[in-house]
Amino acid sequence: MASPPTAVPWIPPVLYTAVLVGGTYHAAVADGPVHRGRTAGFAAGLVLLLALELLERRRWSPSTPARAAAVLLAVRVVLFSAVAVADGSGVSRALFVLVPFTACLAFGRRAGLLSGAACVALLVAGYAVWVPRWWVRAAYVSDLLMFALGLALALSMAAVAVREQDGRARLEGVLAELERAHSRLSDYALRVAELSAAGERVRVAREIHDSLGHHLTAVAVQLEKAEAFRELDPVASAEAVSDARWSAGRALTEVRESVSALRGARPFSLTRALADLVRHLGDDRLTVTLDVTGEEAGYDAASLTALYRAAQEALTNARRHGRATRIEVTAAYGESAARLVVADNGRGFGAAPAAAPSGTGFGIRGMRERVELLGGHVEIEDRPATRPTAGAVVTVTVPRGPLPAGSTR
């Protein structure tokens, strides 16, 4: 434990000054050259003590190392003794109350109590050697009691100073820990912001692919059809252009619906959206049917939107890559989960071009990510053309309520 020279810095100088004034006054009023001859040594000792205080504060502020504190305490005891010998008034005995005071600050309460007891024992021993029957002389008994009282007050003040110092150290430790915690929290917040931004980029990319990507693909297919049938079948070509126009309008409508959903406007209806999607996908070469059972009430917009995006992706794959002529869409709302099944009679995913934008690439991956975030799952059965029931079956299941963030079922 180190001695804090600034814990109670005013006590030693005040006591030195009081002893100097008292001893000098006694020497001035006392008769004889002996008392006046001791005054110079008495004053010199007190000046050295003051210089020692100043040296310690300048050299070891804010705290004195334990070894240096022990050396300084020993030097002080020697100077206290020299001043007491040169003092004819006896007032310099009060300097010894600084011994337990300094020891308590430097080495703890136990050291202060032991040094205080040693000072009392030395005073009693001195009385026993030089003052016969001192215990029956009121002046000496009074001096002993006053000295003991001074020691008690000094130890009390030292204990208060030590507690204050410990409290300040603990407070500084708490503040330092708070600074470190604040720094870590700032790092965590920055990391969360980065992860949130990355997650938002993935979500936006998935939304663009599942919504605009689907409709743009449909527009491209319809325009290709219109181009191919322009000379051979003008009516079919016109219908293809009309379907392309509808897909473009539907894409714009879905963008508006997404914005409205973010603003808390009209709720999303999966049944209505599926019926609209199926109605405009069918033509003379493709038959699309829809079967809906149950009620979608009680399902949140995120779950319904995930099923709709899955239907878009599966229909796009079946039409463009699977070259299906018949697609069956089934939506069933159960008490605990909703299930969407899209089955076609096409060539399956294995026949899709490797570079296709949908197929088993980003589209299916985005579908799985969207559904799994809600605690659901996606099953894909790819039946090759060699089997009697050829084609692909995409089954998507989502629970009635979404999972809280970070949870798993």
Over residues 343-402, the pLDDT tens digits come to: 998 877 654 443 333 444 567 887 888 899 889 999 998 766 555 566 889 999 999 865
Q: Is the dihedral of CA 234, 240, 243, 248 positive or negative?
A: negative
* pLDDT reported for residue 364: 81
DSSP single-letter state for residue 144:
H
Cβ partners under 8 Å of residue 280, min gap 6: 243, 246, 247, 250
> Residue 394 has what pLDDT?
93
Q: For position 262, what pLDDT does the model report?
A: 53
Domain boundaries, the chain: 11-180, 271-409
Q: Give residue-wise pLDDT tens across range 291-317.
A: 999 998 888 888 898 898 899 888 878
**Which residue bears the tokens 């629970």?**
399
Q: For residues 210 and 363, is the Cβ–Cβ distance under 8 A?
A: yes
Please give the pLDDT value at position 377. 92
Shortest CA distance to 393 belongs to which of 286, 275, 314? 314
d(CA 45, CA 143): 23
The reported pLDDT for the residue numbered 206 is 64
333 phi and psi, to 5 degrees? -95, 110
8 A C-beta contact, residue 100 and residue 113: yes
pLDDT at 359: 41
CATH domain 271-409 topology: Heat Shock Protein 90 (3.30.565)
Which residues are registered as beta bridge partners of 392?
A: 382
Nearest to 89 by CA among 23, 28, 16, 43: 23
Query: What dihedral do alpha carbons 352, 356, 359, 365 form, nearest 10°?
Result: 150
Residues 141, 135 contacting (CB under 8 angstroms): yes
What is the CB-side half-sphere exposure of residue 34 using CA atoms within 13 A? 5
- What pLDDT was estimated at residue 32? 56
Bridge partners (DSSP) of residue 329 are 290, 342
Instruction: Give the three-state DSSP class for 50.
Output: helix
Mean pLDDT of the chain: 79
Query: In whole angstroms, what separates CA 51 from the centre of its chain?
Result: 51
List per-block mean pLDDT (blocks of 10 residues) for the chain, which spans 409 residues: 57 85 79 61 86 84 79 87 81 85 83 87 86 87 85 82 78 87 83 75 66 74 82 81 77 68 64 85 81 90 88 82 85 93 82 42 78 91 65 91 49
Q: What is the pLDDT of residue 265?
A: 52
Which position has the token pair 């069933």?
Answer: 332
Bin 220: left if φ > 0, else alpha if -120 < ψ < 50, else beta: alpha
